[in-house]
């Protein structure tokens, strides 16, 4: 007695269609998941950048407000003649965070090297705080630039380059360039601890607070 072969199972007209719909649905869900992950990461980056910008120190040239006057004085004053010329520049921290280890230099067009302000030993400039910089024997016929480097509380470096133009017997700030994670002066950041001093930082110091003791630029 022979055996009767089993009939092949009949495939319904919707079977392949449902498989395709399931595959498309899976792909769509995966795409949405990837998009949500990317959006969340992007939002986190933007939030961190916004918070960093809000508490970033911003050191800029600024004039002196005088009581009873509608206008404020210039941020720069140039006086004297010849090699005895003096440039005074007033700067202030207009940001919401402190500027730490502020380094300042003045470069004059046609003159090698850079000049540093007299009696300048400012380790920090608090938000809203101003300081007057005095450069002596800094005659320049037309242009100079004020270079400022500093860092914020997270260790991120900031810099400003202000172009100063002579105006007869005076001077004014022509332009200000702002930089982040970049240095403009030849003065290196602080080295800590200094020779002979104990390192009091915790072992878990945030990134950027432990500064290498290797070869650096000139220290302020």
**pLDDT score of 82:** 77
Let me know whether 139 and 46 are in one domain.
Answer: no
Q: Is residue 198 in some structural domain?
A: no
- Look up the pTM and report it: 0.68
Q: Decide which of 162 and 15 is more confident.
A: 162
Residue with tokens 């046609």: 110
pLDDT tens for residues 144-171? 999 999 999 888 999 999 999 988 778 8
**Is 205 in a helix, a strand, or coil?**
coil
- The total of structural domains in the chain comes to 2
Q: Is residue 11 in some structural domain?
A: no
Let me know whether 63 and 42 are in one domain.
Answer: no
Looking at the chain, how many residues does it have? 220
Q: Dihedral of CA 97/98/100/104: which sign?
A: positive
Let me know whether 87 and 134 are in one domain.
Answer: yes
Let me know whether 36 and 133 are in one domain.
Answer: no
Please give the DSSP secondary-structure letter assigned to residue 45: H
Instruction: Give the closest residue to 147 by CA, choosing from 98, 108, 107.
Output: 107
Let me know whether 99 and 185 are in one domain.
Answer: yes
pLDDT tens for residues 46-69? 665 666 667 889 999 886 544 444
Q: Give the C-alpha separation, 105 to 87, whole Å.
A: 12
Let me know whether 110 and 154 are in one domain.
Answer: yes
**pLDDT score of 50:** 61
Q: Is residue 7 in some structural domain?
A: no
CB of 93 within 8 A of CB of 125? Answer: yes
**pLDDT score of 214:** 37
Q: Decide which of 35 and 156 is more confident.
A: 156
Let me know whether 25 and 81 are in one domain.
Answer: no
Q: What residues make up the domain containing 25? A: 21-54
């Amino acid at each position: 007695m022979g055996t009767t072969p089993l009939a092949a199972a009949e495939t319904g007209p919707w079977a392949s269609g449902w498989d395709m719909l399931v595959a498309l649905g899976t792909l769509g869900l995966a795409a949405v998941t990837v998009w949500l992950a990317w959006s969340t990461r992007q939002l986190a980056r933007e939030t961190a950048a916004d918070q960093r910008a809000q508490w970033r120190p911003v050191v800029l040239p600024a004039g002196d407000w005088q009581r009873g006057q509608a206008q404020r004085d210039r941020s720069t004053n140039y006086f004297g003649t010849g090699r005895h010329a003096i440039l005074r520049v007033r700067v202030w921290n207009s940001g919401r965070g402190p500027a730490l280890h502020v380094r300042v230099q003045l470069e004059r067009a046609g003159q090698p090297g850079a000049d540093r302000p007299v009696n300048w030993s400012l380790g920090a400039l608090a938000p809203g705080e101003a300081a007057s910089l005095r450069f002596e024997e800094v005659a320049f016929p037309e242009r100079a630039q004020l270079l400022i480097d500093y860092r914020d509380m997270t260790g991120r470096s900031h810099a400003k380059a202000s172009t100063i133009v002579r105006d007869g017997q005076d001077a004014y700030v022509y332009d200000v360039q702002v930089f982040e994670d970049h240095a403009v002066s030849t003065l290196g950041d602080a080295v800590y601890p200094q020779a002979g001093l104990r390192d009091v930082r915790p072992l878990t110091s945030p990134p950027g607070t432990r500064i290498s003791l290797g070869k650096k630029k000139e220290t302020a």
